[in-house]
Copies of this chain bind each other. A is one copy, B any other.
Amino acid sequence: MKIKIINPNTSEEMTDLLRNYAEPLIKNNIELQFSNPDFGPESIECYADEYLAIPGVIEEIIKGERENFDAYVIACFGDPGLLAAREIVEKPVVGIAEAAMYAARMVAPTFSIIDVLERSKYLTQGVIKSYGMEKYCVSIRTTELGVHGGKNEATSEYLEIVKQCRIALEQDKCESIVLGCAGFIEYAEPLSALLNVPVIEGVMPAIKFAASLVELKYKNSKINSFKFPEKKEISGYDTINQYFKSKYENS
C-alpha cells in the first residue's frame, strides 16, 4: 500500500520533519511518500494562506494519481482542500484535523486544541464545526509562536505548549489535547507522558485511518457532491487543467 502525505505549505523543512518522524513508525508494508507543493505560501496561518495553498494541494493530489497512490493525507490542521481532493480522486483522502478529533473522541469525552496563533482561532472554529465537534472541543488555546517556530527554538516552543496544555486541562477542564499544527508532530508523545492524558497530533492517526480505509476498500462517494468537477477550462494551472481534460476524454 502506498500513501502520499501532502504538507500543504511550501516549506520543505516541515515536509522533512513529518517524514523523519513518521517513516520509522510505520510498518514496512505501507510505503509513505511525503511532499509539498512547489507554489503557494510557506506557512498557513490565515484564510488567505489557506486559499493560496489549496491549488498546490490539488496539484500534488493529481501528481499522486499518476503514481497510483492508494490514499492521501493532507497534513495541515485546517484540512485545506480536503473536500476538493475527494472530488478529484476515488482513493481515500484524510485530513489531519478530522483524524485527530475522531481519535481524541475515541479515548476522551472532550478535547482542547493547542493552536499556533490567536489569529487562526476563528479558522480553527470553522474546522471544528465542519466535523460536528463544537460540543466536544472545550477550548482553543494558542501559543503565539507561529507555524514555523522550528527546530532551534524547540525548547521554548515546547515549554509554551506545555503551559497552554496545563491551562486547558486545569481551567478549561478538557480531558484530552489535540495539537493544532502538523509541525507539533514530535510533541504528542512526550506531552502525553508528561501530562498523563491523551495528547494527539493528527498526522499519525491520519496515516493509520487512511490505511484502514484502503484495507476496507472504501472509496469516495461519487454519487453527487464528490463527483469529478464538471467539464470546464481551468486557466493558469496547467497540470490541473491537463488532468481535468484527460479525465473528460476518458469518461
Contact = CB atoms under 8 A, between A and B. Distances in A.
B119 A46 contact: no
A185 to B, nearest CB: 12
Contacts of A83: 47, 109
A223 B199 CA distance: 12
B109 A226 contact: yes
Nearest to A173: B224
Nearest to A208: B212
Interface in A208-239: 208-209, 211-213, 215-227, 229-230, 232-237
A3 interface: no
Interface string A189-223: 10000001110100011001101110111111111
Interface size class of A (residues with CB under 8 A): 35 or more
A121 B226 CA distance: 11
Interface in A121-161: 121-123, 126, 129-136, 146
A223 B198 CA distance: 10
A46 B227 CA distance: 9
Contact of A46 (B56, B136, B200, B229): B229
Interface of A: 10, 38-43, 45-52, 54-56, 58, 81, 83-84, 86-88, 92, 94, 98, 102-103, 105-110, 117-119, 121-123, 126, 129-136, 146, 169, 173, 175-176, 189, 196-198, 200, 204-205, 208-209, 211-213, 215-227, 229-230, 232-237, 240
